[in-house]
Amino acid sequence: MRYLYAILLVALGLGLTQSTTISTNQIRNGAVTNAKLANMLAVSIKCNGLNAVGPPTDCQAAQITGMLNQFSSTLQGVVSASGGGTTNFLRADGNWAVPPGSGGGISSLTKAALPTATSGNKGAVYFVSDIKTGLGALGYSDGANWQFVDVGNIYPDSYSSLQAAVTAAQTNKLRLIITPGTYTLSTPLAIGDNADIACEQGATLQPGTASNTVLSIQANYLSLQGCRVDTTNQATYTGIAVDVLGTTNMYDRFGFTVSDLYINANFNYSGTCLRLFSAGAGASVRHISQTRWSNITCRGFQNGLLLQTTGGIANDYVNGNLFSGYYATTNTNQIKIDARTDAEVSRNQFQNFNLQTGTSTARSITISGKAIANKFSGTTWDWISGIAYEITGNGASYTEPVFNRIEDYGFGNSISNLSIADNNYFVSIGSTRNPLENQPILPGGDNNRNFTGDQDDILAGATYRYTVTQITGPAPSCRSGNLSDLFGPHGKCTWAVSAAQNVQLRVDLNPDGKGYDYISTIGAQYINSGEKPTSVSIQTGDTAPALSTQYSTTANNAMYTLWQSLGIGGTVQVRYIDYTFSRATAGNLSVQRLFSQGLIRKGPFWPQGSSGQLLYNLGEQLNGAVAAGTTGQILTSSGSGTPPVWLSSADIDRKYSASSWDFFTTNTAAGPFTGAAVSSGTNSTAPASGVVTKNHPGVILARSSTTANSGYSYLTAASAFQLGGGEQFDAVVWLPAALTNNTIRLGFLDTTTSADAVDGVYIEISGTGAAVCKTSNNSTRTTSATIATLSASTWYHLRISVASTTSATCTIWGDTGTQLGTQTNTTNIPSTNGRETGAGIVGTNSGVTAADVYAIDLMQIAFNAARARGQ
């Protein structure tokens, strides 16, 4: 009966309350509850803390911790005790350590750990950054050593914060680092003395409006490096991206350096990239001089690099600035000098320029006004057509005999890309010219000849021109055995001297009995080593040995000894230059090179050899001499690769004949031009008051009648010219007060009525004043874009120049000589037999009320290439 009761209890799922023997299979799963289990130790869990199979036990903290993994770089688990303190932190490898520089917590991360601001301490650096909020949470804030500035692409305007940082950095003479970001400036960022600013890669400054200057610089001493200025956030930028103003007389002796500056307009062709402008309020004489610029890029502006004194006052100047590595990409004007006639831009050097041409490039280099002895050396790439170099308005504005110099070594460029209205220039264009050789000397002066090895000159011309002799000292040892090695870029001569023993060398600049009136720079280059001289003296004069000491120094550690003269006037000229070297101790004394820049002689001059011969150059070296001519002859080029020749005035008239006519009467025969009415139009010598002026004598007014399409013409015969290259037509024309219904055509053309030309190259002015360049070959025409839109009651100078059968250019200037525009056509130029044309002007009015159509002051036909009319 006892066994049956136990079975019933099991069957009913009840617990056993009496002792009996029972197996595990006799207990149903889940039948035993926690309450029926044995009591456990406090704060324990059931576990097997043994390293073998066994019954469960009650495990407490120590046993549990011992069974878990220790946290490490490869295992998750428990962490070891820290050992206490507040400065150690858990590392990823599971160990506790004190981080370097840890202050133990946020409360100790204060500005006490930052650099101390002391004057000139470059270790205390200003950072311009966009991390202001994050660092502020850590206890940092703006202060004497740190300036946190909002970034423009996050915040609308960065000007106030960035200007505060610049000003504070200048005041404390600390370096300012601008970290990556785009900074929008609603007001020009003013940079002054003691600025030391570096932009990290990715830091971009941009204008807040279309007319804003981004950087406005007025400083004698500054360093600016690595900044990108980008105006492309403005659809049409009209301002000056970087503007250097001479209002504070910036004469800094090379304490002003800017490098790695990238200025981008992305080919909007508006605004100015970089300007040096000596104007504005301030001292009575304002100037910018001796600033240094390297690796400057201007991309897609109206004006790339602009040096300007116009808009200022007399005696302002921009002088002696150095640009090394200027890269311009398709700016309309790549380099432009715009000077007043009484405020010079002079002796600036543009070394290693690279000017990339595009379809929107109008000029590589433009020089106007009182521009003196500026030097350009580099390459214009891919010139398309028209005038690459333009020099105007120099000669009559001042008397100092100094010359602007352009050397372009770009392949494929030629002297035909040159427009010069002044004798004060020296130009060498084309890849065939070697800058280490003597360049051709053009009429009008002995232009900036010097004897530096990396310029043109005496090295190539020494055989014909100059000599160098030794006056005192031991015999030299020169690389090629001759003292003339010192005229070359790789020369060197060495003397074994005793202590304080002088080596005196004399350069004779007097092969033709004439000295020089001006020297810009003379000096010597020597090795900066134990062989360098410790004393250098340079003397100049016109009578040896009565020389005047111009420069001397002792213990000079520089590689160059330089001296600059502002001219040697009066009756004394520079015929000789003496160099005297010595060293304090006995040993070898070495000199690498003698040089001089800007040897200038007043008045027209060609280099002379013996018996009145004139030396000439065909591109790579001095090639020979031309025998003296006779009185009245003129020396001129005889073609590429051939020596120059003498021509008489009769020869010139025969081969280069030109016709120019002023209109003093209303006669129908006006020089080479015949006047004729078009549909009863009239002419008159009585234009409106003020049309005839001192500058415009002899003016004829052309008028229409009450007949539609009437007017007046002055023309040659309709088939007088076969165009082929070298033909030029100029006219000075006044447009009346009312232009409506007027059509004016002038240049090479064969029309005599209001109808368009069948054959011709001409300018057409419509009733709106818009002027275009047109070419027509048997009535198949090419029309250019608008050259310029002309105004009523205004004088203009218009020119049509035929360069070849595939290139004709139309250019218009205002009455003061400012070029208003130019366009070149390359198709439909009539040049074959049967396509001859005439020249002149035809003006008509389509209305039926008599009206003024144009006034003509002068017309001129010239040939810029010889006509073969016998020898």
Chain center to CA of 238: 18
237 in a structural domain: yes
Q: Are residues 181 and 209 in the same domain?
A: no
In eight-state DSSP terms, residue 300 is: S
Find the domain containing 171 and state its range. Answer: 121-187
Decide which of 187, 221, 245 is a domain's last residue. 187
Tell me the pLDDT band of 282, cut-offs 50, 70 and 90.
Answer: low
706 in a structural domain: yes
26 in a structural domain: no
Burial of residue 659 (CB within 10 Å: 0-12, 13-18, 19+) is: middle
- pLDDT tens digits for 9-25? 444 444 455 556 677 77
Which residues have C-beta within 8 Å of that of residue 545, sequence separation ≥ 6?
none
Q: Are residues 286 and 336 in the same domain?
A: yes
Q: What's the number of domains the chain is made of?
A: 4
- pLDDT tens digits for 578-592? 888 888 899 998 887
Residue 489 host element (H or E): none
Decide which of 551, 578, 612 is a domain's last residue. 612
Tell me the pLDDT band of 632, cut-offs 50, 70 and 90.
Answer: low
Return phi, psi of residue 161, to 5°. -70, -40
Q: Are residues 207 and 182 in the same domain?
A: no
Q: Is 259 helix (H, G, I), strand (E, B) or coil?
A: strand
Q: What is the pLDDT of residue 302?
A: 94
Query: 266-286 burial, b for 16+ CB within 10 Å, e for fewer?
Result: eebbbbbbbbbbbbeeeeeeb
Q: Are residues 693 and 820 in the same domain?
A: yes
Q: Are residues 550 and 677 in the same domain?
A: no
Q: Are residues 177 and 125 in the same domain?
A: yes
52 in a structural domain: no
Residue 458 host element (H or E): helix 458-461
- pLDDT tens digits for 180-231? 888 899 999 999 888 889 888 888 999 999 999 999 998 888 899 999 999 9
Looking up residue 466, the CATH number of its domain turns out to be: 2.60.120.260
Of 348-352, 489-493, 549-553, give the range with the top mean pLDDT: 348-352
Q: What is the pLDDT of residue 769?
A: 96
Q: Are residues 718 and 738 in the same domain?
A: yes
Q: Alpha-carbon distance 827 to 120, whole Å?
A: 65
Q: Are residues 390 and 281 in the same domain?
A: yes
Contact 855, 733 (CB under 8 A): yes
Q: Beta strand 727-735 with 852-863: parallel, antiparallel or unpaired?
A: antiparallel
257 in a structural domain: yes
Which tops the pLDDT comparison, 511 or 396? 511
Q: Beta strand 807-814 with 587-591: parallel, antiparallel or unpaired?
A: unpaired
- pLDDT tens digits for 290-323? 889 999 999 999 999 999 988 777 778 888 889 9
Looking up residue 685, the CATH number of its domain turns out to be: 2.60.120.200
Tokens representing 757 are: 């030309």
Decide which of 577, 596, 612 is a domain's last residue. 612
Residue 460 host element (H or E): helix 458-461
- pLDDT tens digits for 586-611? 999 888 777 665 555 544 344 444 45
Chain center to CA of 377: 12
97 in a structural domain: no
Q: Are residues 531 and 421 in the same domain?
A: no
How many Cβ atoms from other residues are within 10 Å of residue 119's Cβ? 10
227 in a structural domain: yes
Which tops the pLDDT comparison, 552 or 353? 353
53 in a structural domain: no
Q: What is the pLDDT of residue 657?
A: 59
Q: Are residues 673 and 566 in the same domain?
A: no
pTM across the whole model: 0.40
Q: Are residues 196 and 158 in the same domain?
A: no
Contact 244, 254 (CB under 8 A): no
Q: Are residues 337 and 258 in the same domain?
A: yes
Q: What is the pLDDT of residue 448?
A: 33
Q: What is the pLDDT of residue 158?
A: 81
- pLDDT tens digits for 118-168? 333 333 344 444 444 444 444 444 444 444 443 334 346 788 878 888 888
